[in-house]
Amino acid sequence: MSWFADLTAGIWEWFAHRVAGKTGNGVMRAAAFVRYNGAMGAGHLAWGFDFDPSSANVGAVENPRGGVTCDTATMGYWNETNGAPVHTMQRRNYDDLKYTELDSGDAVAAYRTVKWLATKPYQLIQRNCMDDAYDVLRAYGVPNLPVPSHEILPNEWFLQFQAACNSVASFVWTKEKKLAPVQRAVVNVVLKALPAKVPTWRQAGHPDWHMLQAQIVGKATGQ
């Protein structure tokens, strides 16, 4: 029953908002990561965002086979929520990141989008790493993101993203606050139970979807 599913989702979202929140310095950080030599030089993108005062989420769809399309089982989807997100990206050989800091980011909406991405098969056009990074960062509340047009490559999208750029090798993004084991267990339960949600701009027929499609067409035609 859809009403029961909606009720359950609402309850878990309420719990998630209780455990998510501002970082210790009063802001929340979101970032796009790039591997410049990914996809035979076209570039590859990943996302990152503060979830709570003790952890951040990073992830991507890697498409390791390099195909035009790929199913969800083999498309290389991953995400991690931990206290040292840059260390994760260093291990995965990302080069640079651009980050922005917000007074209030919607970590719950972003994480529900992350879970939705796991259900979407990779497609070179309109469901690639650029679309994934765009969707997660937009759900988090990052403004003025470049349009994920099929007319540009991931490296170009990263270049157009107006945010502070840093090397992954030297950037410090360590969550200093530690949760007690019971608190961490609660966060893990909430993360696991929080249901996926389709962003409004990816719901065909929604006003946000129409607006994004118009932006994509405008980008492609130079308008």
Ordered by start, the domain boundaries in the chain are 2-221
What is the pTM (predicted TM-score) of this model? 0.88
pLDDT > 90 fraction of the chain, expressed in percent and rounded? 61
Mean pLDDT computed over every residue of the chain: 86
7, pLDDT greater than 80: no
What pLDDT score does 23 carry? 47
Split at pLDDT 50, 70, 90, the class of 62 is very high
Split at pLDDT 50, 70, 90, the class of 144 is very high
Pick the residue with more confidence: 201 or 67? 201
Question: Residue 164, exposed/middle/buried by CB under 10 A (0-12, 13-18, 19+)?
Answer: exposed
pLDDT mean over 1-15: 55
Split at pLDDT 50, 70, 90, the class of 176 is low
Pick the residue with more confidence: 81 or 177? 81
What pLDDT score does 22 carry? 47
Give the torsion through C-alpha atoms of 15, 19, 20, 25, to 10 deg: 160
152, pLDDT greater than 50: yes
pLDDT mean over 159-165: 93
164, pLDDT greater than 90: no
90, pLDDT greater than 60: yes
Report the alpha-carbon distance of residue 137 to residue 140 in Å, rounded: 5
Q: Which two tokens stand for residue 162?
A: 């107006």
Split at pLDDT 50, 70, 90, the class of 1 is very low
* 139: number of Cβ within 10 Å: 26
What pLDDT score does 5 carry? 55
Nearest to 21 by CA among 54, 46, 58, 45: 54
Split at pLDDT 50, 70, 90, the class of 28 is confident
